[in-house]
Amino acid sequence: MDTETQLQDDRVQERDAQRTRKRSPLKSWSAVLLAMAAISGGWWLYLHRGGNASPAAGQPAAQPEVTVSKPLLENLDTRLGFLGQYSAVDQVELRAQVGGTLTGIDFKDGNIVHKGDLLFTVDPVPYEIKLAQAKAQLESATARRVLADQELRRAQELERNDAGTVENVQQRTSDLNAAQAAIDDAQAQIRDARFDLDHCRITAPFTGRIGRHLVSIGNLIAGSRAATSPTTLLATLVSLDPIYLDFDMSEADFKTFTRYRTNVKAPLANKVELMSGNGNDTVATRQGTLDFVDNVLDRSSGTIHARATVANPDLRLTPGEFARVRLAVAAPEPTLLIPDASVLPDQSEHIVLTVAADGTVVPKQVEVGDLRGGLRVIRSGLTRDDRVIVDGLPYAAPGSKVKTRDSALRYAAKQD
């Protein structure tokens, strides 16, 4: 029994040793993590206590330094800016007025075509046959009229010699009128057949750029003179010179536009300045004429539609392209300008930080305008003598004291 008891004790000791070996790595990792946490906590305390340590007793805190400048005064007109989109003055869907087999396409997709140029050809043979039949009907009606005229003359002669009756004269007169009506109908049939034959050739109604052809040669197309009847769309054509530029004014901009245009003694010409929307034409400026402002505001968007007409002799502008629109609404007058970065948005308002004579930061609410010469137009809220913070805004809090360094603003006319 002693030997068996000894074996059991050995087994228990061996299991305890195995458990101890398994727990050792866990204890090691726990110690490492605790040490890292202690080091991180000490480093955090060192940084925050050291960085935010209060100044020594008797030593005042250093005041931050900012750069200030007085607003720049320039003689500028009042402008409104919009984003517009070009559209064609004339746009047409080319459809045939006669049906038949398409036998010719006489243009290259995307090319400029001129008024009267031949674009499509429909097989004219059926309409040539129709025209020939109408001409034959005219000849037949003409022959009947000649005979009716002769018979009427004979009846009238017999009636004068008391050899004929009045009824016979009336019958021959009716035959003559019927023959004349047949001639008129045949002439109308000829005009109708000639109309169809002429419209087998589809020409450009105006000068512009044509799109791709939508039907190939050999297809049977449907044509009709009535707009309600189904027809085959062959291609589209848009005019390019001049071209429209459509844009929308917000209600606030429309009120500004109306107010300035009503108050000025000599109304400005309805001229707009345009800049192309792509990067290659941001410097090239065009001019247009504002020729339409809608009569109602859109209730859903709160905007009103306006349109300018732009000359496009070089055909560089394309319907659907976007462009920036600048509309002058008042004559040049003294205007204050500051850097755009100095204007701080505050919900629906704008704030500018200024520095008083004693170095106190004073916020002022302003009304801003557009960008001119790289600077922001200030419509109200600032005076010519205010010192505006143009650099160091993160270090300036309203009501705090700051040191100032003077600077001068420059007006970049090329960016206007």
What CATH number corresponds to the domain at position 79? 2.40.30.170
Residues in CB range of 393: below 8 A, 6 or more apart: 66, 341, 342, 344, 353
12 vs 14: CA distance, rounded Å? 5
Q: DSSP 3-state assignment of 386?
A: coil
Residues 352, 381: contact at Cβ < 8 Å? yes
Q: Which of 376, 392, 402, 395 is nearest to 71 (CA)?
A: 376
Q: Looking at the domain assignment, is residue 62 inside a domain?
A: no
Q: Which of 117, 71, 147, 21 is nearest to 369 (CA)?
A: 71
Q: Looking at the domain assignment, is residue 59 inside a domain?
A: no
- Are residues 403 and 305 part of one domain? yes
169 vs 150: CA distance, rounded Å? 12
Q: Looking at the domain assignment, is residue 65 inside a domain?
A: no
- Are residues 211 and 174 part of one domain? no
How many structural domains compose the chain?
A: 4
CA angle 211, 215, 218 (to 5 degrees): 140
- Are residues 110 and 77 part of one domain? no
- Are residues 289 and 252 part of one domain? yes
Q: Looking at the domain assignment, is residue 54 inside a domain?
A: no
- Are residues 194 and 324 part of one domain? no
130 vs 149: CA distance, rounded Å? 29
Would you give the end-to-end CA distance of the chain in angstroms? 109
Q: Which of 387, 403, 353, 397 is nearest to 63 (CA)?
A: 403
Sort 237 into a burial class: Cβ within 10 Å, 0-12 / 13-18 / 19+: buried
- Are residues 192 and 102 part of one domain? no
Q: Looking at the domain assignment, is residue 284 inside a domain?
A: yes
Residue 81: beta bridge partners?
326
- Are residues 400 and 252 part of one domain? yes
Per-residue pLDDT tens over the stretch 147-160: 888 888 888 788 77
276 vs 284: CA distance, rounded Å? 7
Query: What is the chain's percent helix, strand, coil content, to nearest 5?
Result: 35, 35, 30
- Are residues 223 and 100 part of one domain? yes
What CATH number corresponds to the domain at position 230? 2.40.50.100
Q: Looking at the domain assignment, is residue 61 inside a domain?
A: no
CB neighbour burial string for 308-344, b if at least 16 within 10 angstroms, e if fewer: bbbebeeeebebebebbbbbbbbeeeebbbbbeebbe
Mean pLDDT, the chain cut into blocks of 10 residues (416 residues total): 53 56 46 43 40 49 84 83 90 92 93 94 93 92 88 80 79 86 91 92 94 93 82 93 92 84 59 63 67 90 92 90 83 86 87 91 88 84 91 87 86 64
- Are residues 230 and 296 part of one domain? no
Q: Looking at the domain assignment, is residue 339 inside a domain?
A: yes
Residue range of the domain that includes 7: 1-47
- Are residues 227 and 353 part of one domain? no
Residue 225: beta bridge partners?
none
Q: Looking at the domain assignment, is residue 64 inside a domain?
A: no
In the structure encoding, which two tokens stand for residue 72, read together?
């720049």
- Are residues 180 and 284 part of one domain? no
In the structure encoding, which two tokens stand for residue 199, read together?
């419209």
- Are residues 258 and 403 part of one domain? yes
The sheet carrying 201-203 orders its strands as: 201-203, 118-122, 100-105, 220-221
Per-residue model confidence (pLDDT) at position 413 = 62
CA-to-CA separations, 248 to 292, 308, 329, in angstroms, rounded: 11, 11, 16
